[in-house]
Structure 1
Amino acid sequence: MDPITALLDDVLEEMRGLESGEPAAYIPELADADVDTLAFAAVGPRGRVRAVGDADTEFTIQSISKPFVLALALAERGRESVLQKVGVEPSGEPFNAISLEPGTGRPANPMVNAGAIATTALIVGDDVDTKTGRIVEMLSAFAGRSLWVDESVYASESATGDRNRALAHLLRSHGVITGSVDTVVESYFRQCSLVVTVRDLAVMAATLAFGGRNPVTGVRVVEEAVARDVLSIMTSCGMYDFSGEWLLRVGLPAKSGVSGGLLAVAPSQFGVAAFSPRLDQHGNSVRGIAVVETFAERFGMHLLEPHESVAVPAVRVETTESGRVLHLGGELGFAGSERVVAVLRELAEALPTEAVVTVDARELARAHPAAMIALRAEFETMPSRFRLQE
């Protein structure tokens, strides 16, 4: 076992003794889950999957499908079309609450059930098979393998889904949903019944973490802008009426599901996932929350912690016969451009006036437009012996 996997295993074992909470009882197929099951997985930028515990246990994705179906809707319809039908504000209410915007009837956000049903309605397709096919294709691309529907769970969801049907009819009365309510609701039940493992969820989270590109398969699943929009909504709404405390304690975009799954995203660093069927009063996995919170703390994943690599890009100075070459690596943000300018000024003072100074930006993995604008503007004020290679 490599050192990182060992650390993950240590975190998992520390949380195994937590026994509060109960599995979801309102869906019969979920009520029979093995409450002792516990698993955790993490995927980094090179696509290596590290998994510990009961990592091969299969379970249904449930509400964790919501951000990925949202990604599909954004990709098919565009942000503005989606926003006409569903909002992006935290509801502060349980996942199955009737939370509609006065006047428009829009659901509060795509992470609560009403918003997720409205999002599913936006997916291209006039029948259940077509809609479900598009959804399965997209979620399979995120997971890096073919996913399938658990028909027993789907039947159980459909048989006990009267509240979701009522939400859908209410949405249709406001014009948020057009067409067949049954088509939309049954497609929603089927998307929630897709079978995954904690490995799948970690890969799906990592695909969002790396701007929509699956780090395992190398396939671009969605554009960066879509991944960013999804993560933004997950940050404020993904954990329902626990979202504020989650952001304070853990500081990562996340999404939970009532089967006991939980995934979280550390942008540009990791995608992680946990599974444990016991739920708290918010419908979130008790041990899953504890595992991810501990992992985020020990690995320094909180979004709002200072990250020096953004403010201080990699700078390597090479001495040549004519002067100096600054090789830039990593990511160059606006704050990082100040660091580069500071180094240039130090060189300008230390080198002879005939020495040539070149900034080689060709090795940057990512350069934000504002950073390059600032860098070019600085070069306009410098002597001609200062050069920028892009």
Structure 2
Amino acid sequence: MKTPIPDYLNEVLDSLRADTSGNTAQYIPELAQANPDLFALSVTTATGSTYSAGDHLTEFSIQSISKPFAYAAAIMDRGLERVLQSVGVEASGEAFNELSLEDGTHRPKNPMINAGAITTHGLLVSQTASAESRVSRVLELFSHLAGRELRIDEKVYASEIQTADHNLATAHMLRSYGIIDADAHEVVSGYTRQCSILVTVEDLSLMSATLANGGIQPRTRERVLTEDVARQVMSVMAVAGMYDGAGDWLTRVGIPAKSGVAGGLVGVLPDQVGIGAFSPRLDAHGNSQRSGRVFERLSTDMGLHLFAPSSGQLDVVDVRQEATHEVFTLQGNVQFMAAAELLDLMAASTSRTAVLLDISRVYSFTSVARRMALEGLRRLRLDSRRVILNDPLQVLANPDLGDGSYPESPADEHHEV
């Protein structure tokens, strides 16, 4: 059986392709030339399963999505107390390129705006670090987070550094206040290289899934970040990741996120998933228009809002082989994570016996989890396996498999579960 999750993700993309509002980042020549029709989505669970759709192998520059991960590096290199001396954690309520500094301290208000990100880059490695070592630090960390060796797009760097006057002015102002110690031009050059690292949506979903997993890369199982650092980064993403639209985003979508002007968007749900999306057309806030709508759809369908009341941990609690049946057991309030795990286990099954899905201890399904479970049963039946559903609470009310037929019930053959 082939898992249907990529089909669902493709359906999400197809439903939004007609939205051609917004435009590519016109103030950076290399980004202005991007193909505006590219569209991609990738979801990685905390257990390491990745599902992708659209142009998911296309590379693009990470841009401001680098900010939370560079912030993590700075905390690990210099300690949270030292980082907080230079960069705050409050929402600025202003655009990404505003010089939002606190009164008195002159700290940038958070590490997600450019002033804070430039400061963060200047904190990397050590006080006396070279410009090259700071760039090497982020490139190495991002590669560990993505689980593959990443590289810098020199064309994007050259294009951006030619138009970096605003960032250079910001860096000189920060240096005049003693917020950064290093040469302003070196810090901005290094920060621009950091933003020019190439990624795919799959890389982004793995990087954010590492945050969701408390710092453990879900595919390599390497501990890349400490739990405290992962928590700090996710918290700041929730507060300030979407700039002057952060409050609206958190209340409406509820997924801590970070955007980039190349069209990327990354999101994270603790203990659940990391999400990467890509579409180069930007809205008025500088965020990807279609990627933002993708996140809205996933939040609604998958029940991924951070403050959803039924966001408890859900698991496939048992898979066992009986004499004539392979039994899959779920419990709790089933959301995307548990349904994805169920489909992975069904897809990996090599048995030719009947399948019994036991949901007698399930209280609810989100809409997308319900669709996933029923589609899994349908595909198993297409593989010539009998499918049986034990659902005494009728949480899968009207479990039509898509063609007007239904799974068998245990009572049909007097099978005790």
Q: Return the TM-score normalized by structure 2.
A: 0.74
Q: 2:137 matched to 1:128? A: no
| C-alpha distance 277-308 of structure 1, shift in aligned 2 (>3 A) | closer
Q: 1:144 aligns with which of 136, 147, 152?
A: 147
Q: 2:226 aligns with which of 219, 223, 227?
A: 223
> How is 1:119-268 mapped onto 2 (pairs within 5 angstroms)?
119-124=120-125, 126-268=129-271
Q: Aligned partners of 2:237, 2:298: CA distance in 1, in Å?
A: 19
Amino acid at match of 2:145: F
Q: Aligned partners of 1:267, 1:4: CA distance in 2, in Å?
A: 20
Q: Aligned partners of 2:175, 2:156: CA distance in 1, in Å?
A: 26
Amino acid at match of 1:204: M
Q: Match of 1:282?
A: 285
Amino acid at match of 2:36: V
Amino acid at match of 2:180: I
Q: Aligned partners of 1:128, 1:85: CA distance in 2, in Å?
A: 19
Could you tell me how far 1:199 is from its partner in structure 2? 0.7
Aligned residues: 317
SS of residue in 1 equivalent to 2:287: coil
Q: Match of 1:52?
A: 53
Deviation per residue, 1:286-331 (Å, 9 max, x gap): 0000011101110000011113636x99999xxxxxxxxxxxx99x
Q: Match of 1:4?
A: 5
SS of residue in 2 equivalent to 1:262: strand
Runs of 4 or more consecutive aligned structure 1 residues displaced over 4 Å after TM superposition: 312-316
| C-alpha distance 314-4 of structure 1, shift in aligned 2 (>3 A) | closer
Q: Aligned partners of 1:112, 1:45: CA distance in 2, in Å?
A: 28
Amino acid at match of 2:81: E
> How is 1:101-112 mapped onto 2 (pairs within 5 angstroms)?
101-112=102-113
Q: Match of 2:390?
A: none
Q: Aligned partners of 1:251, 1:102: CA distance in 2, in Å?
A: 30
Identity among equivalent pairs (%): 52
SS of residue in 1 equivalent to 2:308: coil
| C-alpha distance 48-180 of structure 1, shift in aligned 2 (>3 A) | same
Give the conservation status (yes or no) of the 8 Å contact 1:8–1:295.
no
Give the conservation status (yes or no) of the 8 Å contact 1:91–1:108.
yes
Q: 1:303 aligns with which of 306, 313, 317?
A: 306
Give the conservation status (yes or no) of the 8 Å contact 2:78–2:125.
no
Amino acid at match of 1:164: N
Deviation per residue, 1:126-145 (Å, 9 max, x gap): 32211100110111111111
Amino acid at match of 1:29: E
Give the conservation status (yes or no) of the 8 Å contact 1:273–1:292.
no
Q: Aligned partners of 1:106, 1:45: CA distance in 2, in Å?
A: 34
Q: Aligned partners of 2:35, 2:238: CA distance in 1, in Å?
A: 30
RMSD value over aligned CA atoms? 1.8
SS of residue in 2 equivalent to 1:309: coil
Q: 2:81 matched to 1:77? A: no
Q: Match of 2:91?
A: 90
| C-alpha distance 159-46 of structure 1, shift in aligned 2 (>3 A) | same
Q: Aligned partners of 2:220, 2:317: CA distance in 1, in Å?
A: 31
Deviation per residue, 1:4-40 (Å, 9 max, x gap): 2221111111111111000001110000000000000
Deviation per residue, 1:326-378 (Å, 9 max, x gap): xxx99xxxxxxxxxxxxxxxxxxxxxxxxxxxxxxxxxxxxxxxxxxxxxxxx
Q: Aligned partners of 1:315, 1:271: CA distance in 2, in Å?
A: 22
Unaligned runs of 5+ in 1: 317-328, 331-390
| C-alpha distance 117-48 of structure 1, shift in aligned 2 (>3 A) | same
